[in-house]
Amino acid sequence: MKVEVDKEPYLVLINEFVKPGKGQAFNRIKLKNMINGRVIERTYKSGEKLDLADVEEAQMRFLYKETDGAVFMDEKSFDQVTIPNDVIGNNEPWLMEETIYQVVFYKGNVIELVPPTFMEMVVTETSPGVRGDTSGRVLKPATTETGAKIQIPIFVEEGEKIKVDTRTAEYVSRATS
Amino acid sequence: MSLELPRKRFERRSCFLKRARAFFEERGLTEIDCFAFRKKAPIDAYIDVIEAEVLPNIKAFLHTSPEYELKRLLALGVHDPYFLGHVFRKNDLGRYHHIEFLMAEWYRKDFILEEMIEETAQFISLFIPNTSLEILSYDEAFERFLGIDLSVISSEELKKKAILFGGSSDWDDKTIIHFLLSQKIEPHLGKKGLTALTHYPKDEAALAQTTFLNGKEVAMRFEIYKEGVELANGYQELSDAKELKNRFEKENQRRKKEGKEPYLLDETFLKTIDQLPSCSGVSVGLDRVWMLSEKASSLQQLLSPLLDDWHNPSFTKSL
């Protein structure tokens, strides 16, 4: 559930019913700010009403990059929107053509871009692997077709497609497709 | 716990009930199987009573506690009655609340407040062993855990505290004090053994007598806590019908202020209560005691598998 507190959108994480011995019932709520990610705790009298936040989510396809942002197209309505670079933030290495992203709007403005949890991409730059003499998991740096910089196992070569976890920027496995 | 056979849990519950009854039998108390349906509702600003149609166009209330019936019996001369059974409260659903729960309530003729606290602690110790007892007054608790002197604090300072801890400055003083008690004091009570919180503000006396402590009129009331969970609520009981009627009317006013319907006074109760002998009484939330003895962290972990739906998010989504 998304609610508005102090004119900002929050995601309700936990809603706990609390009632002291002989007294008023309260709801203690843990909320996450959908713009800056901060978690706060607020208590309300049971029965008090909170405004729902004007938050909407859309599935949008990445089209191309521009100087000040990236252009996406809504899968259903075909509307296009430019998401500014500051909202894209750390997700810039995960922008890839033919990929659908979750875009979160608050009062009509984009506040968050969520890439798919796992993405498959080609390794465009890495040093060749060295066989033998490895007693554990050894990693080497690599760059992917989207410009993402991640550590990959030494047996993965340039040109190979890999599966990546976008939450941690970690190698998961060789691509299955 | 989830890997355990449900059968074992029910067998332990059965032993639990036997031990509770044995405690009362050993002390020569009289068990009363109180009626759950009552014609009149108890009048409390913060307890909502479930109403049901029992006959065409005739409604009755489900008892929120056996207090009224047991007191009438005491007034009739029944010796130290007790009740061990279910009570019902509308809208109470949470980690430590369920709309229906097991309660033990008993009365002791000629017991003073301190004696009742002691006996309640003994009872709880049957199920949660090795528990020492600490006695702390309401005012002392506010002083110790919040550095607040309730007799001098201003509304402005209270509002500041409310905001500081995530509440609202729109609340009145009473709401803020309840909020501070439940958020900032209760979690600290009963950490080592049991903590009995005593001598509540006089406007929270409910059906308890009042007395003077440090020049201030306070309620002869106590609540016992373990691990921040309230387990028991007891009084040195009031038999003054006129004062009780006054209090019921005040509670109805509070109910109206909260947008709740007022309830009719129980005239039969008021007519007989003057004959109540001097006594103290207590009610213990046995589901919570059992929860702690089973080392569970919520009631829903323990309630019969059949009742899990009540606490299922999708079921209560509309609440």
pLDDT tens digits for range A125-134: 998 876 665 6
Q: CB contact, 8 Å: B95 with chain A?
A: yes
CB B231 within 8 A of CB B225: yes
Residue from B179, B225, B231, B251 to probe the interface with A (highest A Cβ count within 10 Å): B179
Please state, for a pLDDT cut of 70, what percent of chain A lies above it.
95
Residue from B64, B178, B222, B300 to probe the interface with A (highest A Cβ count within 10 Å): B178
- Residue A112, min C-alpha distance to chain B (Å): 26
CB B102 within 8 A of CB B112: no
In single-letter form, the type of residue at position B224 comes to: I
Q: Which residues of B286-303 are buried (b: 16+ CB within 10 A; e: fewer)?
A: bbbbbbbbbeeeebbebb
Residue of A nearest to B96 (CA): A18
Q: CB contact, 8 Å: B312 with chain A?
A: no
Banded model confidence at residue B164, pLDDT cuts 50, 70, 90: very high
Query: Could you give the CA distance from residue B246 to residue A87 in angstroms, rounded to a whole number?
Result: 62
Residue of A nearest to B186 (CA): A20
How high is the ipTM of this complex?
Answer: 0.75
- pLDDT higher than 50, residue A74: yes
Q: Which residues of A97-135 are buried (b: 16+ CB within 10 A; e: fewer)?
A: eebebebbbbeeebbbbebeeebbbebeebeeeeeeeee
- pLDDT higher than 80, residue B215: yes
Banded model confidence at residue B131, pLDDT cuts 50, 70, 90: confident
What number of CA atoms fall less than 13 Å from residue B29's CA on the CB side? Answer: 27
Q: What separation, in Å, do the N-terminal and C-terminal C-alpha atoms of chain A show?
A: 36
Comparing CB atoms, the residue among B168, B175, B223 nearest residue A24 is: B175
More confident: A21 or B176? B176
| Torsion sign across C-alpha atoms B72, B76, B80, B84 | negative
Most confident of the following: A16-30, A98-112, B3-17: A98-112
Query: Could you give the CA distance from residue B203 to residue A22 in angstroms, rounded to a whole number?
Result: 11
Range of lowest pLDDT (A12-26, B20-34, B60-74): A12-26
More confident: A122 or A48? A122
Which residues, including other chains, have CB under 8 Å from residue A68's CB and lie 6 or more apart? A82, A84, A85
Tell me if B186 and A20 make a contact (CB, 8 A cut-off): yes
- Residue B61, min C-alpha distance to chain A (Å): 20
Which chain B residues in 43-62 lie under 8 Å from chain A, judged by CB atoms?
44, 46
pLDDT at B244: 96
Across B86-95, average pLDDT: 91
Q: CB contact, 8 Å: B250 with chain A?
A: no
